[in-house]
Amino acid sequence: MSRRDWSLHLGLVALLFALNWILPAYHHGVVARVMVLAVFAMGYNVAFGYTGLLSLGHAMYFAAGMYGTGLVALHLEAGAIPAWFAGLGAGLLLALVTGLLALRTAGVSFMIVTLMFAQAFYLGILYFGDITHGDDGFVVPNAARRVAEVALSDAGPRYLIGWALFSVTMIGTLWLVRAPFGRVLVAIRENEDRARLLGYDTGRRKLGALVISGGISAGAGAAYALLFGYVGASFAGVQYSIFALLWVLLGGAGTVIGPLVGTLFMYYLVDLSTEVTDAYMLIAGIVLILLTLFMPRGITGALRQVWRDLP
């Protein structure tokens, strides 16, 4: 890894850390939220951006983390840390099971299978309303939202935990895609037959990528439940799967900082447009169409043409 790569990514981490003391209250909250959502996007990016697995069902992994954490906290009165690991475990398990089935297909079929699994998961949340509180969702009990004496619901700790999760995930994925495993994933994305011909077991590596991707997404969902205190079925809906795709596409698929750029940009765009109209998803639709037409590589992808070795 070149020194420029390190300075770019560590610089970003340091900048986000410093912003904790600089940002006004409202934007402080937004950036905390965006960092957690960007972790979800980075998880998606491992599957879509680096391995070429275009999933339309990643909301189910995010929601598995969220509900795994929330339900354990609500019904078993677990503390924050065990609850977070419960969410992570739920997401990893779900990614393993759905991956084993869905990866038997490819391309358009893979998109539809993941969409259907996610839809069944979403409907399952509604169906088991006695446990999950269905459409209304539930508030995570305050007892579960503290570690030692620190309340995770306070603005300061919330920002710093979001920042820590974001930084660890970013450096982790940067390391992952530079490691031999990540190189093989890119090879699978570019030409799976050729990768197989070279002797790589592409099936197992794709499963590995999907489980890592689902795990990161679930970790984000679990953190979201703890930091923002609300668990709801809307996070499992198709819309959030589409959001993950949109954030990654917009920021630039297959780049490490792309997901943050895309999430930040889209969040503010939607935030600004809700002041004008209720139909904020209109913006998402227009951006999606424009991206596929004019900028298939996203913002960072366009930058990469100028700065060639941007990771």
Partner 1 sequence: MEFGPYLLLACLEGAVLAAVLALMASGLSLVFGVMRVVNVAHGEFYMLGAVAAWAVTSMLGAGAVANFVAALVIAPLAVGLLAAAADMTILKRLEYDPERTIVATIGLLYVIQQLTLMTYGADARPVVAPFNSRIALPWVEWGENGLSLYYPWGLSTTSYKLFVIVAAVVLITGLRLFMAHSRAGLIMRATQLDGEMATAFGVPVERVYAIVFGAGAALAALAGVLIVPIQQAHYLMGGDALLLSFIVVIIGGLGSLTGTVVAAILIGMSDGIISVFFSPTLAKIIATLVVALVLVFRPQGLFGAKDR
Alpha helices in the chain (DSSP H): 3-22, 25-45, 59-75, 80-102, 107-127, 129-132, 155-178, 180-190, 192-197, 202-228, 238-251, 258-273, 281-294, 298-306
By beta-carbon proximity to partner 1, the closer residue of 146 and 297 is 297
Q: How far apart are CA 244 and CA 137, in angstroms?
A: 21
By beta-carbon proximity to partner 1, the closer residue of 186 and 283 is 283
CB of 264 to partner 1, least distance (A): 20
Q: How far apart are CA 244 and CA 38, in angstroms?
A: 9
CB of 30 to partner 1, least distance (A): 22
Which of residues 288, 295, 297, 303 is near partner 1 by CB under 8 A?
288
By beta-carbon proximity to partner 1, the closer residue of 77 and 271 is 271
Q: Judged by CB under 8 A, does residue 116 bind partner 1?
A: yes
Identify which range of 22-30, 66-74, 123-131, 225-233 contacts partner 1 by CB under 8 A.
Answer: 123-131
Q: How far apart are CA 86 and CA 72, in angstroms?
A: 7
Q: Which residue, chain included where needed, has tokens 């990161």?
A: 216
Contact indicator for 188, 51 with CB cutoff of 8 Å: yes
Q: Judged by CB under 8 A, does residue 293 bind partner 1?
A: yes
Q: Judged by CB under 8 A, does residue 11 bind partner 1?
A: no
Q: How far apart are CA 278 and CA 9, in angstroms?
A: 36
Q: Judged by CB under 8 A, does residue 245 bind partner 1?
A: yes
Binding residues among 179-238 for partner 1 as defined by CB under 8 A: 238
The site for partner 1, by CB under 8 A, has a size of: 40
C-alpha distance across the termini of the chain, in Å: 9
Q: Judged by CB under 8 A, does residue 104 bind partner 1?
A: yes
Q: Judged by CB under 8 A, does residue 277 bind partner 1?
A: yes
By beta-carbon proximity to partner 1, the closer residue of 22 and 293 is 293
Q: 259 vs 41, 130, 223, CA distance in Å?
A: 5, 36, 17
Tokens of 90: 């739920």
Q: How far apart are CA 225 and CA 229, in angstroms?
A: 5
CB of 113 to partner 1, least distance (A): 5
Which of residues 272, 292, 302, 307 is near partner 1 by CB under 8 A?
292
Tokens of 77: 């009165």
Identify which range of 58-66, 186-194, 212-220, 281-289 contacts partner 1 by CB under 8 A.
Answer: 281-289
Q: Judged by CB under 8 A, does residue 131 bind partner 1?
A: no
Q: Judged by CB under 8 A, does residue 120 bind partner 1?
A: yes
By beta-carbon proximity to partner 1, the closer residue of 111 and 195 is 111
Which of residues 35, 78, 80, 113 is near partner 1 by CB under 8 A?
113
Q: How far apart are CA 118 and CA 241, in angstroms?
A: 9
Contact indicator for 147, 85 with CB cutoff of 8 Å: no
| Among the listed residues 233, 272, 278, 25, the one whose alpha carbon sits nearest the alpha carbon of residue 121 | 233
Interface positions with partner 1 (CB under 8 A) = 54, 56, 101-102, 104-105, 107-109, 111-113, 116-117, 119-120, 123-124, 126-127, 238, 242, 245, 249, 277-282, 284-289, 291-293, 296
